[in-house]
Each structure stands twice: as structure tokens, then as C-alpha cells.
Amino acid sequence: MGYRMLIADDEKMIIQLIRQLGHWEELGIEIIDECYDGEDALESILRNRPDFVLSDIQMPVYDGIQLIERVREHDPDVLFILLSGYRYFEYARSAIQLNVVDYLLKPVDEEQLNEILEKVCRSIDEKRRQEADHETLVNYQTADENSRRKEFWETILDRDRKEDRKFLTKERILEKFQIDFREKNYQVIYVDTNLAGILGTDHSVFSDKVKSYIESAFKGVAQAVHYEGFIGHVLVLNYGEDRQNEVYNAVSVLFYKIRDLNEIYGEFRLNIGCSLAKDSPEKLPDAFEEAVSAEWGHLVFFGNKVLKYEQVSGLMSFSPTDLISAEELQARMPEIFRMCFRTYMIC
């Protein structure tokens, strides 16, 4: 990968000399623009995003130092080499604190110019290596986290994995899944809409909005671990005993925020089911079934609404397998987990 450079100097002869002396092809440097005052240079830098700038210290409108300061307000990553006459040498040296790579004295010397160009190219290479290493680490951590979270959710969503509930203690969840539950109450919230079926693969924007609403609704109220998959959105909430009313209010806020998206997507079905609060993460699989049963209460309580498990449990006793056979539910589980499985931690 090469390097993109901009030259700023109010003397055209200096720019022509720099063009003649630089080993551009050898160093892999492309000169993307020439500017003759600080204002034009600033506009070009912000528009073209060069890797580095060779700028005269003395120019009309903005001098070299002022140019750097204004560029830093928008893009702190652009590197600078300053060009200075001898009488402005000390002024140019003061720019080192602005993260200037180096400075050149006029008249421009070919050897010194190319040494500095090599230096700035090495700085860019090092920065790119660090960014690549960071991206690799983030991707690895994300893949590892998604793998762990997948197992966490499978343990909660698959009723046939009861033997795995031994992992659903605070200590084991932290050790095995790196999820740190600290409060006493646990609750599952199930958000179901029919938009995925209506929009097909184009529902990702809607999904992103739902995730942002989840983050804002529960911020400062409860820790929320979020799953999105074929069955819809499922939340595990962890919060203090004194925050139960706040949590229910947050669920209501979430409902109305999602419902208001009908202005964009048209009318769609939306129901949210809430489980009872539990005192142990080992009871989360039971809470998931309660949340689904509560959501399916819309078959009794018509319309879009938030439904609590206690509202349906008093009227009838049913579980998801009463409305869909155990064989069908079990048959759909592999399909569910083959779908795009994404989990998010929202604190």
C-alpha cells in the first residue's frame, strides 16, 4: 500500500523543486494535490484525507502551525512535515509538540528531503501495523465472545439441555461465558414482531434500531444481555430488587419506541412478554418459557401490548409446547441456531 501526500507552499518554484528532488516512485508516494495558501490546503486535506502533508511554515491565510491546529480538530491522524527558512527555524521547531514528524530547512536538500520522506513512510507503516494488529485482536475477541455467548443462549433457549444448567451460576457464567451478573434479580424479556417475515433480509436496519432502543431503555436501570435470532429478540435482565418498577417502565418505553417505527414500516405486530423475576440465573430457562408464554398471551389479549407472565398464568396454564408440539419445537432448534446468531452485551 502506497502513501498519499499533499504539498502546501505559496512559492510555486519550491513546489516544483520538491517534485524534482523527491524519490516518489521508489518510496511509493503519490502527490495528490498542491496548494498555495493555508485555506486551500485545509480544504484539500479535509476533502482528500492524505496520509501526510509537506507544508511551508509561512503561507497566506493560515501559516503552517495554524494549518496543523485546524486539521487536528477534524483529523488527528494526518502527519506533517514543516518546511522553513532559517529565520523561522525556531518557530518550526516549536511545532514538534503538535506531533510534526520533522522539519526541512530551505533551500531544500535532496538527501535530507528523502531521508525525511522515508521517516514519515516508516511512521505510517508502523501505524498501519498497529491498526491491523488491533483489528485482528478485536475480530478474534468478538468471534470468541460470540462463540461463548452462543453456548450461553443455547443453554437458556433449549429446554432439552437441562444438564447444562449447572453452568448457570454467577461464578460459572462469569468464568465460562465472561458475563458478570452482580445483582439479585433475573428476568427474561421476549420481543416478537412479524417484520422479519415481511421485510426478509432487508430488516437489518430495523434490527439495529431495536438494539439501540434496548441500550437506551435499560441504561442505568438493568444489565441487559441481548440475543437476536430466528425467534426474535430475547433479553436477560439483571437488576437490583428495588428496581423492579423501573425495569417494567423501561420495558414499556422499549415497546413504544419500537411501535413508533410503524411510521416508517407501516403497521406490524409487536408483543413483548415478561417473565417473573427470578432470584437465580439457574432459573433463566424457566424464565424464558414464561416470557414466551406471556408473549403468546396476545392470542387471548388481542392487540399489540406488553404482557406479564402473571397475566396469563392466572387465566390458563400453558407452555410453548401447548401451542406448538414438542417435536416441532425440537425440530426447529437446529434451524434457529443455524441462523445468523448474534449476541450483544449492553451495560
CATH of the domain at 17: 3.40.50.2300
pLDDT at site 344 = 36
Question: Which one-letter amino acid corresponds to residue 171?
Answer: E
Integer Cα distance of 250 and 244 in angstroms:
10
Least confident of 11-15, 65-69, 181-185, 226-230: 226-230
Query: pLDDT-based confidence at 46, cuts 50/70/90?
Result: very high
Is residue 37 one of the residues assigned to a domain? yes
Is residue 147 one of the residues assigned to a domain? no
Is residue 148 one of the residues assigned to a domain? no
Number of domains in the chain: 2
What percent of the chain stands above pLDDT 90? 43
Report, in this order, helix, strand and coil percent for the chain, each rounded to 5. 55, 20, 25
- Per the model's pLDDT, the better-predicted residue between 62 and 329 turns out to be 62
Q: Do 58 and 198 share a domain, yes or no?
A: no
Q: Which of residues 81, 115, 130 is at a domain's end?
A: 130
Q: Do 162 and 259 share a domain, yes or no?
A: yes
pLDDT at site 217 = 94
Mean pLDDT of 60-67: 89
What percent of the chain stands above pLDDT 70? 78
Query: pLDDT-based confidence at 15, cuts 50/70/90?
Result: very high
Is residue 140 one of the residues assigned to a domain? no
Mean pLDDT of 311-317: 69
HSE, side-chain direction, 13 A CA sphere, residue 147: 7
Is residue 139 one of the residues assigned to a domain? no
Q: What is the CATH number of the domain that holds 200?
A: 3.30.70.270
Instruction: Decide: 282 and 301 in contact? Cβ < 8 Å.
Output: no
Question: Which one-letter amino acid corresponds to residue 176?
Answer: K
pLDDT at site 297 = 81
pTM, to two decimals: 0.53
Q: Do 213 and 84 share a domain, yes or no?
A: no
Q: Do 79 and 182 share a domain, yes or no?
A: no
pLDDT at site 155 = 83
Grid coordinates given for 270: 409487536
DSSP bridge pairs for 105: 84
Q: Do 172 and 293 share a domain, yes or no?
A: yes
H/E element holding 6?
Answer: strand 3-8
Supply the range of the domain harboring residue 101.
3-130
- Per the model's pLDDT, the better-predicted residue between 97 and 43 turns out to be 43
On the question of pLDDT at 276 being above 70, the answer is yes
Mean pLDDT of 285-299: 88
What average pLDDT does the chain have?
A: 82
State pLDDT tens for residues 119-149: 999 989 988 888 877 776 655 555 555 566 7
pLDDT at site 345 = 39
DSSP characters over 294-328: HHGGGGTS-SSEEEEHHHHHTT----HHHHS-HHH
Whether omega before 334 lies within 30 degrees of 0, making that bond cis, reads no
State pLDDT tens for residues 156-186: 887 666 666 777 889 988 888 888 999 999 9
pLDDT at site 168 = 86
On the question of pLDDT at 302 being above 80, the answer is no
Tell whether the torsion through CA atoms of 103, 106, 110 and 111 is positive or negative: negative
Q: Do 333 and 199 share a domain, yes or no?
A: yes
Q: Do 123 and 169 share a domain, yes or no?
A: no
H/E element holding 39?
Answer: helix 38-48
State pLDDT tens for residues 190-224: 998 887 666 655 567 888 888 899 999 999 999 99
On the question of pLDDT at 300 being above 90, the answer is no
Is residue 54 one of the residues assigned to a domain? yes
Query: pLDDT-based confidence at 236, cuts 50/70/90?
Result: very high
Phi-psi bin for 219: left (phi > 0), alpha (psi -120 to 50), beta?
beta
- Per the model's pLDDT, the better-predicted residue between 89 and 241 turns out to be 241
Integer Cα distance of 165 and 152 in angstroms:
10
**DSSP summary character for residue 28:** T
pLDDT at site 346 = 39
Least confident of 64-68, 284-288, 300-304, 335-339: 335-339
Is residue 152 one of the residues assigned to a domain? no
Q: Do 110 and 179 share a domain, yes or no?
A: no
DSSP bridge pairs for 232: 229
Is residue 227 one of the residues assigned to a domain? yes
Q: Do 239 and 334 share a domain, yes or no?
A: yes
Q: Do 249 and 329 share a domain, yes or no?
A: yes
